[in-house]
Amino acid sequence: MSNDNISFGTALRSPYDVATAAARIEALGFDILSCGEHVTFHGDSANGIVSLSVAAGATNHIKLMSSITLLPLYPPALLAKMGAALDIASGGRFILGVGVGGENPKEFEACSVPVKQRGSRTDDCLEVLERVWAQTNVTYQGRYTTLDDFSLKPLPIQKPRPPIWISGRKEVAMRRAARYGDGWLPYMYTPEQLADSFDKIKAFGAEIGRDMTDFQPGLFIFTNVNEDGKTAVAQAAEMLGRTYAQDFTQLVHKYALVGDPDQVQARLKEYIDAGARTVLLSAACADEDFDNTLNAIASNIVKVF
């Protein structure tokens, strides 16, 4: 770990050459390797479980987090089996990052899942995972899932189950984190929003009588650090604008870590002061600049904090 208090991760850039990328990220000193997913999206996209399984065989100790798995698109028992298999294959390094998706309705249509059911299906899946990752002979009757004396064999290595981190930006996601999550992984947040979300999650936990002492506050944030701060800002704004199909010129300083090393470190400290203890630093740059940007993130953030 980079620090007694702060863990740093980064995301796989591509569904290609996963083993090489994973080994390099581990060698750079990151604590967590993450991978997002879509069934279909604007460009090439990965499946998180598959790519992280490849990464498991190419690495030794780095944690493997899906960031995020689109839970409503999976039959819960099937996802439970896949997650348990990955936890076993990796020697107990898997972390499930959870999101509801919905920004691309076509993939929901293709999977025969109504977009309006994504929240309730996510909660149903989380109920199943809570049970079948920790117990055998499970009987459960949910809105979408029925289990009758169901057992996963073998169970995951991590006990009572692999960690579950909830991603999102809205209050309903915060309530989900308080009920089901071991950690919170929002994105496109300011430090002020981050601190407020942690306070709300603690309050929601208290409402349901949950001890939140071990709950892990985190953050997913797009990052570009360069000795020429203006280059970092321009690269991040261009990449984010292309990804989200909007002008990020005025938003990049608000929602991303960008600038020269001093600027980035100062801004990151604001997020840490707001409560973040796990930070996933996703390189915000063009493909041809990725290697240099990742090296700069490792040198100026991971090895400094």
Using 50, 70 and 90 to split pLDDT, how confident is the model at 42?
Answer: confident
CATH number at residue 93: 3.20.20.30
Q: Is residue 108 part of a domain?
A: yes
Task: Name the pTM for this structure.
Answer: 0.96
Q: Is residue 242 part of a domain?
A: no
> In this model, does residue 1 exceed pLDDT 80?
no
Q: Is residue 77 part of a domain?
A: yes
Q: Is residue 189 part of a domain?
A: no
- Which residue range(s) make up the domain with 148? 1-167
Residue 248 tokens read as 């990020």
Q: Is residue 147 part of a domain?
A: yes
Q: Is residue 23 part of a domain?
A: yes
> In this model, does residue 276 exceed pLDDT 90?
yes
Helix 191-207 / helix 261-273 crossing angle, nearest 10 deg: 20
Count of structural domains, the chain: 1
Helix 118-132 / helix 171-180 crossing angle, nearest 10 deg: 10
Q: Is residue 32 part of a domain?
A: yes
Could you read off the pLDDT of 56-108 as tens digits, one per residue?
Answer: 999 999 999 999 999 999 999 999 999 999 999 999 999 999 999 999 999 99
Could you read off the pLDDT of 197-252 as tens digits, one per residue?
Answer: 999 999 999 999 999 999 999 999 999 999 999 999 999 999 999 888 899 999 99
Q: Is residue 207 part of a domain?
A: no
Region of residue 264 (phi > 0: left; psi between -120 and 50: alpha; otherwise: beta): alpha
* Sequence-separated (6 or more) residues with CB below 8 Å from residue 151: 132, 136, 137, 138
Report how far residue 68's alpha carbon sits from residue 65's, in angstroms, rounded to the nearest whole number.
8
